[in-house]
Amino acid sequence: MSELDICKRLKQVMKRAEQLNRMQLVVGIPNDGKSRKDSGEITNAELGVIHEFGVPERGIPERSFMRSTASEESENLGNLTNVMVSECLSGQITPRKVFSEIGAYLRGQIVEKITDGEFQPNTAETTRRKLAPVKDKKKRRAPDANKPLIDTGQLRASITYEVREK
């Protein structure tokens, strides 16, 4: 490789690194201000915070699904990030694709955690409420509605990611 080729390649790597540095990834539940379909009062973002951190004074235990997933997946996320950044710096994928791949992976892991994670069980009162017939025909329960964190499936479906400019 000639000196000119090395300089061109270095400029490409620097440009890609700068592009990566101007972006950020946000994974979670957007606070769009829209209420849940089954409640005119609470949003999915608010419900997510309640479950993520718990509200002991209301008898709601912490059932972390975002922080715990990020922690449990830290090694896999690090490995994925290394591969994606290498591919980006070599010109195989765009900087946006790096963040999109990582976001899609983490979103999938969070959804899987909500679906299959081991959480403190629902109280007897919550179980009765969740298994009771639904009077409002517009409200539908998810098939696995008696699992902790799942009732209608709206919270789980609201998990998303965004690639943003800093």
Q: Are 159 and 165 in contact (CB under 8 A)?
A: no
pLDDT at position 38 over 70: no
Domain spans of the chain? 3-121+152-165
The residue-averaged pLDDT of 50-65 equals 95
Structure tokens at 68: 């715990």
Quick one: tokens of 76? 């896999």
Residue 39: the pLDDT is 64
Predicted pLDDT at 36: 75
Angle of helix 74-89 versus helix 3-21 axis, rounded to 10: 140
Give the pLDDT mean for 135-161. Answer: 81
Which tens digits make up the pLDDT trace of 78-134?
999 999 999 999 999 999 999 999 999 999 999 999 999 999 988 888 888 887 777
What stretches of the chain show up as alpha helix (H) in DSSP? 3-21, 44-53, 67-72, 74-89, 95-116, 124-131, 154-157
Please report which confidence band the pLDDT of residue 138 belongs to, taking 50, 70 and 90 as the band edges: low
> What is the predicted pLDDT for the residue at 124?
86
Q: What is d(CA 102, CA 73) in angstroms, rounded to the nearest whole number?
A: 11
Q: How confident is the model at residue 42 (pLDDT cuts 50, 70, 90)?
A: confident
Q: Where does the pLDDT of residue 4 fall: very low under 50, low under 70, confident under 90, or very high at 90 and above?
A: confident
163, β-bridge pairs: 25
Mean pLDDT value across the chain: 90
Residue 24, both tokens: 């950020």
Q: In this structure, what token pair is assigned to residue 153?
A: 């499936």
